[in-house]
Structure 1
Amino acid sequence: MQSVDFLLARRNVCQKQTDNSKYPRQRIQLRHRTMTMRNGPVQRRLSLAAPLLVIVIGLLVLALGIAQRTIWQPPADITAEVDVSSVSAGQNAPLAVIESKALNQRPGPVKVNVQGSGSLQVVQGRSDDVDAWVGQTPHLKVASASDNFSSLNASFVGGAGATANPAGSDLWTNEQRGSGSLDYEWNAPGSGDWSLLVASDGKASAAQKISLTVPNDTSTPWAVPLIVFGSVLILLGLLYLIFGRGKGKKDGGSGRRAASAAAVVLLAALALSQAPAQRAEADDSATPSAPGSSESSSASASASAEPDSLAASVVTDGQFTRILDSVVKTVANGDAAKDANLLPSRIADPALQLRTGNYKIRSVVADYQANEPIADKLLTRIVSTNRAWPRSLVAVTQGPANVVPQLLTLVQATPRDNYKLTATARLLPGQSLPEVNTNGAAIVAADKKGTGQKTPAEALAALGDRLTNPDGAAKDSFAASQGFKYLDEVAKFQADTVAGSPQATIVFKHDPQPKSIVAFETADGGTLVFGTFTFTQDGTPKGEGDKLSVGDNAAAFTSGKDTLKGYVLTFDEQAVFYIPKAGPSAPMTMLAAERGLTTAAFK
């Protein structure tokens, strides 16, 4: 019985062992399922953390980009200023010069603000003109601004020069006036260096405070990239949250792959944000050793500097028009009143002598011919590039009252003088001016030959000899052109005067005035010369008791018509002529002339 029970128990144990060996895979799967159920919450938390981290980083990057465009964006303008009293140290500075370097230190327009007590003025001119006008007068010099454009570098320049009011000078291209505070917007009017001159009345302190406001560099090159990259990161995180979780239930590794992809995108964004800086460093280091780049820079500098290396014309179009208008109005006022006292602001000798004499004669001789009016209708002009003083301009004008064009010579004697009309000459019939660079003619000095056959002084002396002695050594020095008729007319006048005064010895002289010479180089290499003669007619009785008489026009100066001792009549005589280019001998050509009685006296 016991053996039977033992055998049954033995069989049951073997059967259980057999059952366990038949289902090992089911047991492993059950064990894995149990572990997966335990680890599921952890994996879900990890799958949420990765996209959320990407979204947070994206928000931070986006915020940085927006901040660069808002709270961190630089101001639109920056201002540099100087307190004049802190620089002048109690010394009076009636003038303040804002130099070209300060005005051009930053690109764009410059807003100039000047503060002071009483009247204020700001004038604009070429830098060399401003410096020449200021001269040795004590002044404040604003040379530049600090590197960050927060203050102006200024200094006081002492001197013993006379003070003066700069208002109305022909040197300025623009003027603006105010009281207490003056705002002036400066834009470079052209190539070359330009400066501003600040003053009150030329005696009082120029200003108390000067400031320059310029556009600031408000560029934010990283704002857009940061905004874009931040937005991309946020989008990637949201996409993963929406689409990545469902897949994660089936594939536990997809969450890790999404997190890895987000990290790659973030690293790429950071790499891109560093790339421009690296490129800039590479460019900076490469610049000195890049021959191609160096040659290009040098060529560019030469090209931009080339116009500045050429001397600028002494006046702009606007200045020329303003000067001519002022001369025309001044002469018109003097002519209308027959008052020479109204002329000196715009007319100088010999033109002043000519009109003064004409007014005097007409005050006595009612039908004496007046000088032709100065017309404002400009036909052409000649503007020199000689920036030394005296400076010269020529205007060719013709109005309804002018039978032929007039050639007007305008001279500025010193920087503080305005241009004045010094000579007028009427173009002779059939003549025309040679071609000249109207906006940059080269001046030929009176004692320099240039490219012509003679110096202007030699040529003027030859013309004087030809006028004084028509049959002398200079007889063939001028061409037989339409202008030659003027020379014949002068010779005929002198011969007729001698023939009509048998009881008198009459001597004519045409003395050249070298200081009056203004000469320009022509396009063909010749020289165009403007000059003045003092033309005298000296009459002396041949015998004792012989009486000489003068006309009504001369009597306006002599207070009588008859003399037993003789007389001297003095004329101003203007001449314009052309000297051919050096080479085979060729005669000069007379182009324009004018003559008028300026005074007369008995011996």
Structure 2
Amino acid sequence: MRFVLAILAFAAAAVMIGFGIAQRTVFLEPDRISLGTVVEDQADYIVLEPEALAAQSGKQTITVSGSETVFLAYGRTDDVEAWIGDDSYVSVGYDADAGEFTNEVVAGQSAEGETPETTEPEATPAPDAEGAEETAEPAASPAGSDLWLDELTGDRTLTTTIDVPEGISVLLASDGTEPAPGRIVVAWPLDNSTPWAGPLIAGGGLVFLVGIALVISGVLAHRRSRGPRRNLPKGPKGKLTRAPRPTRSQRAAASGAGPRRTSGRARRVALLPVLLVPAIALSACSSDYWPDFAATPETSAPATPAATDQPADDTAAEGEAEVVPAVTVPQMERIMRSVAVFTTEVDESRDVQRLTERFAGPAFQARKANYVIRGSVTDHPALPAIPAAPLTLTLPQQATGWPRTVLTIAKNSDDETVAPTALVMRQESPRENYKVVYATALVPDADVPEVAPASIGAPPISPEFKGLVMPTGQVAAAYADVLLKGPESEFAEFFDPEGDVVLQQLGVEGQKATAESLPDTADIAFSNVVGDSPTVALATNDSGALVTVSINQTEKVTPNDGGTVGFEPGPGRALSGFDDKSAKGVQRVVGIQLMFYVPAVGADEQIRLLGWSESLIGASEVP
């Protein structure tokens, strides 16, 4: 009976293991689904629309080919369309009914205004004597734009996997001289797990072991019951006769190696299934082989963006543009990495022309002057580097168009003794990158108020807004007056003097110390004017505002005894290029960048200084 049960166990084990392996081989479903298209139209740009990327759920693996250089970038759909602007492009969408991609040429504004010619086509002009033919102007390259969440470039073929939520588009292009690559395949993962393969293989292994145990127990039982023993012959008077003692050769034959070798082989054969079955069972340890009893199944699909308090599109006023933050956090992190690398390179080369690519306004003036000074004064320090990360605050402007502004605070991860840097960056148009307009260092123990998350952004505050203790458009002029007059200024009561290092160094006390350091034959006069750059004000959660302004402080030194004065060797002389003495006097201009917190009306607070920087931006003979 044991042998019959063993045979049944072996058969059941073979069926279970075979069916379990078949589920992972011949019966295994595909692990992905893909859709492809070939764009026949010659276009500089191709856009994969959000509905094409979301044709199936899960991560999108995109493979693009069709040109020598393949460029791929993805960003918010509005940003992609804004960058393309009036240029024509091919839109790749998705037809849910047909289950396939669609191609549509979207004509740019210039193309829409053209009237097609109906005359006979002219013959192709022959090349000139030198063989040179007139070529079309290259298309603008989208590489390096701050609008992208990420970008990649490859040769001939490019494959990448992304996981983007709704509202994201993919832009495809070449190097500007060739059409965009038109062979596109998008693949999404499919759940081809076989949750019963593991239990079947493991269960089959256990049943197989049961069969082995039945065979062994059957063999042992059979040996114990091989039949009745023969009666030994009895001697005289009923005593048993002693069997003759075996000879040495007989004992050697009885204990020969033949039977032992047979027993050893039997043991090795019995151990083989014991080692083989666990190996088969271990091969089914992947999570795809076993059922998932978790309450919520895992998915690779992107999370749905968190809802905001903004009204839905259908409730917005007709013609009103959707309000979105100027940048996302990943986008800002990418921008900061680019700005940090750029700043390091341009600070080393002191290339003023290249500096305009990433700097403007007071930040540009400060670095431009520093480059000139360092060209003559070799030991003059460079301005502080801009750290790339970590970003402790990202506050984008709620934008409906351009220009766009974002405020960010970056902490120096290499040296904690260096104060965090607050940057105000501005993007004038979709095809321009963000430029640093203000760069200030936070004051010690700066108490930055809470602001909206980057996914919402902050509305800009009008310079005439009356809901603050002082309109933001008046902050720079009022503080400039406080620097000149100190407590005597009519605006002194609006500003908190505690911890204000600018008042200490560039205010009345600092100006007095500078005047005392001059010889008696010279006089000094100070004047402050508001900088040319616009005031940037973004709302905080407590109805206040973060306000960034600039002030230019002029120090005019004139002789009072009919003599002459001039610059001492150093930054002033290097920046002005004036190394003579002047009877009219000399002057220096110090650029001051300031970031304030301006509380709301009714708050029991004063305007508080959060960050500042000062640098020499001008020097000359008094005109």
TM-score by length of 1: 0.64
Q: CA deviation at 1:179?
A: 3.1
Q: Look up the match of 1:169.
A: 145
> Could you tell me which of 389, 408, 425 is aligned with 2:423?
408
> Could you tell me which of 353, 356, 361 is aligned with 2:368?
356
Rate the CA distance shift 1:438–1:555 in 2: closer, same or farther, 3 A.
Answer: farther
Provide structure 1 residue ranges, at least 5 long, that are not aligned to the other structure.
Answer: 1-72, 219-300
SS in 1 for 2:612: strand
C-alpha contact (below 8 Å) 1:114/1:207 kept by paired residues? yes
Q: Look up the match of 1:592.
A: 611
Q: Look up the match of 1:573.
A: 592
Counterparts of 1:198 and 1:591 in 2: how far apart (Å)? 43
Counterparts of 1:308 and 1:103 in 2: how far apart (Å)? 26
Q: Look up the match of 1:241.
A: none
Counterparts of 2:451 and 2:580 in 1: how far apart (Å)? 47
Q: CA deviation at 1:96?
A: 1.3
Q: Look up the match of 1:285.
A: none
Larger helix proportion of the pair: 1
Rate the CA distance shift 1:377–1:120 in 2: closer, same or farther, 3 A.
Answer: closer
Q: CA deviation at 1:529?
A: 1.3
SS in 2 for 1:353: helix
Q: Look up the match of 1:204.
A: 178
C-alpha contact (below 8 Å) 1:124/1:195 kept by paired residues? yes
Q: Look up the match of 1:395.
A: 409
SS in 2 for 1:592: strand
Q: Look up the match of 2:479.
A: 463
SS in 1 for 2:508: helix
Q: Look up the match of 2:469.
A: 453
C-alpha contact (below 8 Å) 2:326/2:398 kept by paired residues? yes
Rate the CA distance shift 1:476–1:179 in 2: closer, same or farther, 3 A.
Answer: same
SS in 1 for 2:493: coil
C-alpha contact (below 8 Å) 2:39/2:103 kept by paired residues? no
Q: Look up the match of 1:428.
A: 443
Q: Look up the match of 1:97.
A: 47
Counterparts of 1:180 and 1:114 in 2: how far apart (Å)? 8
C-alpha contact (below 8 Å) 1:173/1:318 kept by paired residues? yes
C-alpha contact (below 8 Å) 1:327/1:347 kept by paired residues? no
2:471 alignment partner AA: T
SS in 2 for 1:147: coil
Q: Within the alignment, does 1:368 sit opposite 2:358 as a pair?
A: no
Q: CA deviation at 1:560?
A: 0.8
Q: Within the alignment, does 1:333 sit opposite 2:333 as a pair?
A: no
Larger Rg: 1
Q: CA deviation at 1:401?
A: 8.0
Q: CA deviation at 1:434?
A: 2.3
Counterparts of 1:303 and 1:165 in 2: how far apart (Å)? 33
Counterparts of 1:183 and 1:369 in 2: how far apart (Å)? 46
SS in 2 for 1:508: strand
Deviation sequence 1:138-180 (CA, Å, 0-9, x none)? 2222243352123414123224499311112222122233333
SS in 1 for 2:494: coil
SS in 1 for 2:153: strand
Q: Aligned runs of 1:215-364 on 2, under 5 Å?
A: 313-340=325-352, 343-364=355-376
Q: Look up the match of 1:126.
A: 76
Q: Within the alignment, does 1:442 sit opposite 2:449 as a pair?
A: no
> Could you tell me which of 506, 512, 529 is aligned with 2:530?
512
Q: CA deviation at 1:366?
A: 4.0
Rate the CA distance shift 1:497–1:352 in 2: closer, same or farther, 3 A.
Answer: same
Report the aligned-residue RMSD.
3.8
Rate the CA distance shift 1:103–1:391 in 2: closer, same or farther, 3 A.
Answer: same
Rate the CA distance shift 1:336–1:304 in 2: closer, same or farther, 3 A.
Answer: closer
C-alpha contact (below 8 Å) 1:330/1:342 kept by paired residues? no
Rate the CA distance shift 1:450–1:377 in 2: closer, same or farther, 3 A.
Answer: farther
Q: CA deviation at 1:588?
A: 1.0
1:508 alignment partner AA: F
C-alpha contact (below 8 Å) 1:127/1:195 kept by paired residues? yes
Rate the CA distance shift 1:322–1:214 in 2: closer, same or farther, 3 A.
Answer: closer
SS in 2 for 1:114: strand
Q: How many residues align?
A: 445
C-alpha contact (below 8 Å) 1:115/1:207 kept by paired residues? yes
Counterparts of 2:560 and 2:433 in 1: how far apart (Å)? 49
TM-score by length of 2: 0.62
Counterparts of 1:308 and 1:196 in 2: how far apart (Å)? 27
Counterparts of 2:311 and 2:163 in 1: how far apart (Å)? 18
Q: CA deviation at 1:213?
A: 4.9
Rate the CA distance shift 1:580–1:157 in 2: closer, same or farther, 3 A.
Answer: same
